[in-house]
Structure 1
Amino acid sequence: LSAREIVGNESQERMGLVLHEKDLDDLKRVADRERSPMYVVGETTGDQHLKFVDGAGNAPIDWQLAEMFGNPPKTIMNDVVVNEPFAALTYDASKVKEYVESVLQIESVACKDWLTNKVDRSVTGRVAKQQCAGEIQLPLNNLGVTSIDYRGKEGVATSIGHAPGIALFDAAAGSVVAVAESLTNIIWAPLTHGLSGVSLSANWMWPCKNKGEDARLYNAVEALSDFVVDLGIN
């Protein structure tokens, strides 16, 4: 990787912190205790300039912050609507078992442990309810709950929803159903402020730059935006 790629790549295992210099020793003790590598990579200067310099003196990133946030370049995307025809549903009653096995292998139906088993979900001691349950940790719980502190009864609930199968036929309907699924999961938490206390985080895994897909993504985002705004969700 080039120096710029190393600096700019998305690494979920890597976290950045901004803290006072006097707190470095405390952080170093925690990092050593947890056997987690820690590096001091720079300092804040207050001059609104971002610069990274490698060991050879090269500066792969050297620009004013205004170039990142003040006046970002506009992206113009051109696409066309593609109407995909789908054949009428047909089935053979003698193949029901085969159909069931196929359905259970669909990512949106099968076990979602690829989402819920990625990390140790009991870290901090404030995880009150995990999304997985039982001896073999199947992700069957409607939601996960994390307490705010160690003594109170307040917390944060998280639920997941996605509908890729529906989105294949109707991108707008798929995004709306995904949100609806997450809402029907989170209703089991006593929401203090109702729907106004719910915040949405959407992750679009979309095959952009393929003919018709950018237009479908636009429709999906627009439908989701209208849906959550009407419900008063953040």
Structure 2
Amino acid sequence: MPMEVLLGKPPRMTRDVARVVRRGDDVDLSLEGDALRDAAYAVLRHPSVASKRFLVTIGDRTVGGLSHRDQMVGPWQVPVADVAVTLTDLAGLAGQAMATGERMPLAAVDAPASGRMAVGEAMTNLLAAPVTPLEAGAPLSGVKLSCNWMAACGEPGEDAALYDTVRAVALELCPALGISVPVGKDSLSMRARWTDGDGQEQAVVSPVSLVVSAFASLPDVRGTLTPQLHEGSELLLVDLGGGRDRLGGSILAQVGAASGAPSRTWTTRRGSPGWLRR
């Protein structure tokens, strides 16, 4: 059916937008002694890093008998699971895996990078489950994404930032990975305006935000990994950043009341332990 038959002939929307150059500020990375300790504690106490037990344990969980992997991990039931896994039925081993990813603060510095990071986080979380390909030679063909886009359209630079982020995710990254995005939604009025007690107009504008939910069907849910360390476990550092170690929009920048430049790198000083680089 032609769309004009179904919807009539609504006026076509045209937007005249311009890109805004975003320049983050520098993060003080010369941390030693007490300053390094204080920064580490500030990162670990931040709500986006700290334990979510206070929230997770409010409601019931693992109800119904079809939850194979819930958020609680190990004998001490710590809520650190990367992926949720459910069973299809009570008799078989087939099931589904779901994971999420988001990197909203980074969009204030580099919106397309925040979209790519959100997809990357969702995928690295999902791959804790034994995901199997649907097509030979396409290891991620069994993965589907749901993208929830949020932006303050109409604000200077935000429409262009949204366009650039959608292009980076939907036209560049996902096709290169062999992943499809069959579903999603958008909220394009992410702003709040009010008048304060002095009669001054105030406004808060949200940067472009993307929440990615990744899904995959599993023929066998056994083999799902958790972050629990066992005796003899080894920790491996996989440098997904290609040695660039960029910290723009990172939690370290946030706790230091900074945004971080997009290309800022953190190089380890001679003699400092390697884990300080992450």
Q: TM-score range by the shorter chain?
A: 0.5 to 0.7
Question: 1:67-106 to 2 correspondence within 5 Å?
Answer: 67=7, 74-91=12-29, 93=32, 94-104=34-44, 106=46
Written as runs of structure 1 = structure 2, the 5 A alignment for 1:97-136 is: 97-104=37-44, 106=46, 108-111=48-51, 120-133=60-73
Gaps of 5+ in 2: 134-138, 181-278
Shift of 1:113: 6.4
How far the C-alpha of 1:178 sits from its partner, in A, is 1.3
Q: CA deviation at 1:208?
A: 3.2
CA-to-partner distance for each residue in 1:166-208, whole Å, 9 max, x for gaps?
A: 3322111111111111211222222232411101012223333
Which protein is bigger by CA-based radius of gyration?
1
The two structures have a TM-score, normalised by structure 2, of 0.51
8 Å Cα contact 1:111/1:139 also seen in 2: yes
**TM-score if structure 1 supplies the norm length?**
0.60
One-letter identity of the residue aligned with 1:97: R
Return the structure number with greater relative CO, CA threshold 8 A, min gap 6. Answer: 2
Which of 220, 224, 229 is residue 165 of structure 2 equivalent to? 220
More helix by share: 1
User: Which residue of structure 1 aligns with residue 91 of structure 2?
Assistant: 151
Give the % identical residues: 35
Q: Distance in 2 between matches of 1:79 and 1:112?
A: 40
Q: Out of 83, 101, 105, which is 1:161 matched to?
A: 101
Which structure is higher in strand share? 2
Given that 1:108 and 1:163 are in contact with CA atoms closer than 8 Å, whether structure 2 keeps it comes out as: no
Match of 2:154 among 203, 209, 220: 209
| Cα deviation digits, residues 118-168 of structure 1 (max 9, x gap) | 864423321111133358864311101011111110010111212223332
Conserved 8 A contact 1:108-1:162: no
Match of 1:199 in 2: 144
Q: How many residues align?
A: 168
- Pair 1:195–1:84, CA change in 2 (3 A): same
Structure 1: gaps (5+ residues): 1-64
Q: Does 1:141 align with 2:87?
A: no
